[in-house]
Amino acid sequence: MGNKKEELIELLKENEVIKFGKFTLSSGKKSDYYVDMKRAVTDPKILSKVAEIISERIDKTGTDKIAGPALGAIPIVTAISLKSEIPMLMIRKAKKGYGTSKLIEGDLETEDVVVVVEDVTTTGNSLINAIKAVSENGGLVKRAFVVVDRSEGALENLKRNGIDLEPLVSINDF
């Protein structure tokens, strides 16, 4: 497993997904680095490597759906779904006010075991919201993955919510 993680780290470095400098984050916080996950999730090599790693780690017979919050996680979830042949779900940030107005797109059955995936986590709040959406709609979430964890509380916050978050890489790996 170690070498695949190293390969992923190399790909992230080569594609300048982690940039060092002075940045203002969406939260308004200042940071010495920026994780540009849109660069990662639009790159086929990175997507493929992420899908390979996560597909190997999940129990294919015991997992009914792979889910992720829009927008960043959708390419990742799609890649994992293709690799593992497990159907996917897309979780909106908010219900759309027209059509079926569903928060979750895809076929979620009651008691489906769902693995939730995110592109990057800081505190883990968007992941927690995605997991709540799945739970409130009858799905069971026990595991979550993130490609890059910024190591700012997400692991602890998810544990408090009864979820084991498994980062593929942590910012400390850089």
- For the chain, what are the domain ranges? 42-173
Which of 169, 117, 109, 100 shows the shortest CA–CA distance to 138? 109
Residue 24 is labelled as binding a ligand: no
Mean of pLDDT over the chain = 92
Q: Taking every pair of C-alpha atoms in the chain, what is the biggest distance, in angstroms?
A: 46
Give the three-class secondary structure for 68: strand
Tell me whether residue 81 is annotated as binding: no
User: What value does the mean pLDDT take over residues 8-36?
Assistant: 91
Q: Which residue has the higher pLDDT, 26 or 135?
A: 135
Residue 124 labelled as part of a binding site: yes
150 annotated as belonging to a binding site for a ligand: yes
With a pLDDT cut of 70, the percent of the chain lying above it is: 95
CA–CA separation, 108 vs 169, rounded Å? 29
Determine if residue 120 is labeled as part of a ligand binding site.
yes
Better-scored residue on pLDDT, 102 or 49: 49
* Section 152-157 average pLDDT: 95
According to CATH, what is the number of the domain 42-173? 3.40.50.2020
Would you say 88 and 106 are in contact if contact means Cβ atoms under 8 Å apart?
A: yes
pLDDT in tens, 59-79: 889 999 999 999 999 999 999
In angstroms, what CA-CA distances link 25 with 35, 59, 157? Answer: 10, 35, 20
Question: Which pLDDT does position 98 carry in this prediction?
Answer: 64
Would you say 64 is a known binding-site residue? no
Select from 133, 141, 138, 132 the least CA-distant residue to 113: 141
At residue 25, the pLDDT reads 81
Amino acid at site 77: V
**Residue 88 neighbours by CB distance under 10 Å:** 22
Residue 134, pLDDT above cutoff 90: yes
Residue 108's SS3 state is coil
Give the separation between CA 97 and CA 17, rounded to whole angstroms: 34
